[in-house]
Structure 1
Amino acid sequence: MKLLFIADPLESFKTAKDSTYAMMREAARRGHQLAACEPGQLRWASDGRAGGPVRARVRDITLTGDLHAWFHESAVRDVALRDFDAVLMRKDPPFDSEYFYATHLLEQAEREGARVFNKARALRDHPEKLAILEFPQFIAPTLVTREAQAVRDFHAQHRDIILKPLDGMGGMGIFRVKDDGLNLGSIIETLNLEGAQTLMVQKFIPAIAQGDKRILVIGGEPVPYSLARIPQGGEVRGNLAAGGKGVAQPLTARDREIATALGPILAARGLLLVGLDVIGEQLTEINVTSPTCFQEISEQSGFDVARRFIDALEAILAAG
């Protein structure tokens, strides 16, 4: 197969833990051809009468096996996306305007015959924090609002809350306000910009002390191990980017209940790979842009996540 990975610059990869690199490594092991580009290298053009296909300036690469100088670039080509067997959108958040525009180019490529994973429309339709609203039976008390008074009322009811921006990543911009309400007004002003920006507020879940669990769902089926990202040093955030410690552990009965309920629904919408975030028994986020933790789970549990992913990708492509 010929695979195109749309991602951040290859030179920025931290190969010891990067999930996109793990996908590439498994695909190369099976003899698949690899190419890569960045979203900014996608383009479409018309001559005024008809449009050509969505194209990209791509780098053909082979892997070296070295975690530092990890790839060799054999050629740079201008190629239509439909000429690849699969296009894997693996650009990291934030999901900003440029990411949004890229999904429209990818959707046009799909109309032209390209196979894109995760599907472009599904990426747009599942903003990672707001996607949980469809499944209220699995989430903690939650508020989405621009109104400062609504946040104050939510705090008065629940007393210990988490506030976060809708476009944050890696734990960025997350605040906890306890019963005393210390700095609540300042935090609201910081996050909602005097009513100009929507934020999410959730009841604090004490089980964060045992970790914010990342559950990977591939082709609608959960990986049997999660990665519990455990806060360190007085932090309330378990995100690895915020210094959390990752510990692989078998799925609990509740983890599996959530994953098996959501997995088939999300897979049917074109989401081949999903990362569910669960704290205790509550779903907190549905990650669809570039879910991670492949290598951490594989190294600690012995379960080869990348192999499961490429198996699922090959099966979908074989099915036509």
Structure 2
Amino acid sequence: MKLKIGIVMDSLKKINIKKDSSIAILNEAQKRKHKIYYINIDNLFIKNNKSYAEIQKIKLNIKKKKWFILKKKKDIILTKLHVILMRKDPPFNMNYIYSTYILEIAEKKGVLIINKPKNLRNYNEKIFSLHFKKIITDTLVTKKYSKIKKFFNIHKDIIIKPLNGMGGRSIFRIKKNDNNYSVIIENMTKYETVYCMIQRYLPEIKMGDKRIIIINGKIIPWCLSRIPKKGEHRGNLAVGGEGKIEKINKNDLKISKYIAPKLKKLGLLIVGIDIIGNKLTEINITSPTGICEIQKYTKISITKIIIKMIEKKIKKKKYDNISI
């Protein structure tokens, strides 16, 4: 069965196709003769209690300089698609939340949405890790100076980050005798008006921040270890970290197995978890990356696993072959 696959994502013009997991997934779908459609999050809408979108059919040729062609825009009811991949990058703001309500209407009519809209709303990528208290580091979520100061006085070396960020942006390390302590806290909490996550600094970051991919509860046995450059506390590739592909170790597997069944039960089918040392730090469910890097250096095709998973799930559903 040839599927009609929509994807909600950022502008294609901003994409680095060598590293973009969403494009890698779409390219695999196209190889398997499925039809693929681009959706900008701003072009989702509801009319007469039904969900719609302005879509554009995509043609990919990632070996060429002009690597994509977008066809003419048209409005469709979302039930004309078999599956929609929700791959919009953070920030996770109110527009994002509203989009999940629109997608949820389509989901209730039988469209497979990945990841499940309700649980994209319910599980913030930073706070979600707190559901697994046995495997996380000491963590505080607050916007109050006094509570951050008390936490800092205990640990003497902390990380503070926004709850809706990505790619290592606005992640600060505060150490003992840091003259910028107050200004960092003021700016991050916007003078006690915005919640932040504060964690004990994990020195194991020097060995790498591991991104492990979990597809429909299946743990990919290789990971992307992101190693900070000298003088940096962030391993994210977006801020200059060095990527290294490694086989996951016993501790990584133990943590992944502990989390994977919960993710699958929640309809979170494409997930990237982050591990530093023996601690879980984040659970990425909006648009996890790392797929391209792992595929490039191993024999595992994660994108093929994803598309086969989608095909299997759709096969269990009954659809009319409605043309777009």
**Shorter chain as normaliser: what TM range?**
over 0.9
Relative distance call for 1:18 and 1:318 in structure 2 (3 A) is same
Q: Specify which of 119, 130, 136 is matched with residue 122 of structure 1.
A: 119
1:143 aligns with 2:101: no
> What are the within-5 Å matches in structure 2 for residues 133-172 of structure 1?
133-172=130-169
Tell me the equivalent position of 1:284. 281
Shift of 1:67: 4.6
Structure 1 window deviating more from structure 2 (262-271 vs 301-310): it is: 301-310
Tell me the equivalent position of 2:210. 213
Cα RMSD (Å): 1.3
Shift of 1:181: 4.1
Shift of 1:233: 3.2
Secondary structure of the corresponding residue to residue 41 of structure 1: strand
Tell me the equivalent position of 1:33. 35
Between the aligned partners of 1:61 and 1:181, the Cα distance in structure 2 is 50
Q: Which digits, 9 at most, give the CA deviation of each residue in 1:230-285, with x for residues without a partner?
A: 11131111111111111110111111111111111111111111110111110001
Q: Specify which of 237, 241, 246 is matched with residue 240 of structure 1.
A: 237
Q: Which digits, 9 at most, give the CA deviation of each residue in 1:63-113, with x for residues without a partner?
A: 224353112234432211111110111111111111111111111221233
Q: Match for 1:272: what amino acid?
A: L
Secondary structure of the corresponding residue to residue 281 of structure 2: strand
Q: Match for 2:8: what amino acid?
A: I
Scaled by the length of structure 1, what TM-score is found?
0.95
Scaled by the length of structure 2, what TM-score is found?
0.94
Secondary structure of the corresponding residue to residue 42 of structure 2: helix
1:72 aligns with 2:69: yes
Tell me the equivalent position of 2:47. 45
After the TM superposition, list the runs of 4 or more consecutive aligned residues in structure 1 that deviate by more than 6 angstroms. Answer: none
> What are the within-5 Å matches in structure 2 for residues 150-229 of structure 1?
150-229=147-226
Between the aligned partners of 1:134 and 1:118, the Cα distance in structure 2 is 19
Task: Give me the identity figure in percent.
Answer: 38
Shift of 1:319: 3.0
Q: Match for 1:242: what amino acid?
A: V
| Residues 17 and 62, structure 2, Cα contact 8 Å, conserved in 1 | no
Q: Which digits, 9 at most, give the CA deviation of each residue in 1:164-186, with x for residues without a partner?
A: 11122111111111132432222
Secondary structure of the corresponding residue to residue 40 of structure 1: strand
Tell me the equivalent position of 1:90. 87
1:3 aligns with 2:11: no
Q: Match for 1:21: what amino acid?
A: I
Q: Which runs of 5+ in 1 are unaligned?
A: none
| Residues 275 and 287, structure 1, Cα contact 8 Å, conserved in 2 | yes
Secondary structure of the corresponding residue to residue 38 of structure 1: strand
Q: Which digits, 9 at most, give the CA deviation of each residue in 1:108-166, with x for residues without a partner?
A: 22123322110100101111101011101010111111211111111111111111111
1:249 aligns with 2:251: no
Between the aligned partners of 1:319 and 1:264, the Cα distance in structure 2 is 21
Between the aligned partners of 1:263 and 1:37, the Cα distance in structure 2 is 29
Secondary structure of the corresponding residue to residue 287 of structure 2: coil
| Residues 164 and 201, structure 1, Cα contact 8 Å, conserved in 2 | yes
| Residues 21 and 290, structure 2, Cα contact 8 Å, conserved in 1 | yes
Q: Which digits, 9 at most, give the CA deviation of each residue in 1:286-309, with x for residues without a partner?
A: 110000111111112232111111
Between the aligned partners of 1:307 and 1:296, the Cα distance in structure 2 is 15
1:62 aligns with 2:73: no
